Amino acid sequence: MSVAVTSFAIFAASQVGTPGPANMALMATGARFGIRAALPFVLGVALGKQLVIWPVGFGLMELAERAPAVFTLLRFASAAYIIWLAWKVANLRLGTSRAEGSAPGFAAGLIVHPLNPKAWAMIIGGFTAFVAPGTPSLEATATIAAVLLACQLLLHPMWTLAGDAIARTVAGTRAEPYLMWTLAALTVASVLFVLFGGGT
């Protein structure tokens, strides 16, 4: 095939499964509201990456080469938004009841990856490192999209479940604020690493 599917699948699993802004948001949502209430958000997050993959596969990379300053600005604006979300997570308290408030829904999940610099870096890296030159855009984009979606549908719920399990242990204890600050700090660290560390 014109796309190195096996190699890309390993790369994708390593990226989707490691800490990043999306996974920290999923863990925090699972911790605050429980896995069942968080499922629409999880699905939105998984499908939201498709909103980045398809435009990239059909020409956004060419635009990025022509107007790099626009994409640099977008990258930092996205990072600022995610850091603001991290601040909100840091100040959340899990409480002993899951009935207060409502979990973010499907639409909120859809915008997580378009505003996630790690997602953009991962997707662009996928196209540049695992797609052979001359591969038709539809074939390359569909393959990248399918592999990433499969990884997300498997791994994103695991992060949400982890947050749920952690919350059952620490909700209402002295450890609770430290947990929320740790989740927020990991989110900020993952964004800064992508922006300044060259990671994907």
pLDDT at site 39: 93
Q: Are 79 and 117 in contact (CB under 8 A)?
A: yes
Strand partners, 3: 131
Span 141-179, pLDDT tens digits? 999 999 999 999 999 999 899 888 877 787 678 887 887
* pTM of the predicted protein model: 0.71
Radius of gyration of the chain (CA): 17
Average pLDDT, whole number, for the chain?
80
pLDDT at site 64: 58
Phi first, then psi, for residue 173 (nearest 5°) are: -100, 175
Mean pLDDT of 77-97: 66
188 is written with which tokens? 């900020």
C-alpha 130/C-alpha 162 separation (Å) is 31
pLDDT at site 144: 93
Span 25-59, pLDDT tens digits? 888 888 888 888 899 999 999 999 999 999 888 87
Phi first, then psi, for residue 131 (nearest 5°) are: -110, 125
pLDDT at site 145: 95
